[in-house]
Amino acid sequence: MRLFVNSNNCQMAAFTVTTLGWIFTMLSMGLMEWRVWYMDNSSSSFPTGLACIGLWKVCTHHHTTYARSNTACRLHPYRDTYLPLDVRVAQHLLLAASTLGLLGKVLLGCGLRNVCFGHLQKNATWNLFLASGILNITAAAFISVAVIWNYHSVMNEEGIDFPPSFYIPFKPDKQEIGSAIPAAVLAALMMLFGGLFSFSYKFPADRQVHPEVSQI
């Protein structure tokens, strides 16, 4: 019985962790600060300010001569060809990770429902937890690839050929990773640990069906 309780607690922990991981996945996908560019007009014709580059839009904050900040945000959907390969791949990876994480959470919830309501079929219940773990770990891998590729691009100071209307140079004077990266790292870790917790399910020995032996 103790094994059943401990296994059930692990699955509840897996559901909680993967839910938080999915929330952080959606949060990191919506945040603009995947890259932060700092621009100094002393060396170019572009205005001074900074640009926050996300997966789906870019926001520029240009400083005016009156010490004000002029902010403008523009979406960059799939049809925009100026986006580098790492951003376009990250868009698909994060979308896939959010979908896989949601499916994994649903399968994990179905497995927990079977356990809590006593609808225990060894192979069926284990397969639900196994599939959920695989989906969540795959989602963690997708997020990790997007994060590592973005980090590599920032560290190598790679540029982006924005349209002239954006008033953003090909390369900034300085660039760094933004707040979306820690959120994505947390999402990947939570998805990974949630998937590993899903594998810890043990079918309780006292719930197994044993054939009855009739006495003659």
Q: Given this model, what pLDDT does residue 202 score?
A: 65
Residue 5 confidence (pLDDT): 42
| pTM > 0.85 | no
Domain boundaries, the chain: 2-204
Question: Is 193 in contact with 136 (CB distance < 8 Å)?
Answer: no
Output the pLDDT for position 37: 93
- Residue bearing tokens 């695989």: 134
Q: What are phi and psi of 35, to 5 degrees?
A: -135, 145
**Tokens of residue 158, six digits:** 């790679």
pLDDT given for residue 146 in this prediction: 97
Q: Which positions of the chain have pLDDT values less than 50?
A: 1-5, 66, 206-216
Any idea which architecture 2-204 has in CATH?
A: Up-down Bundle (1.20)
What one-letter code names the amino acid at 73?
C
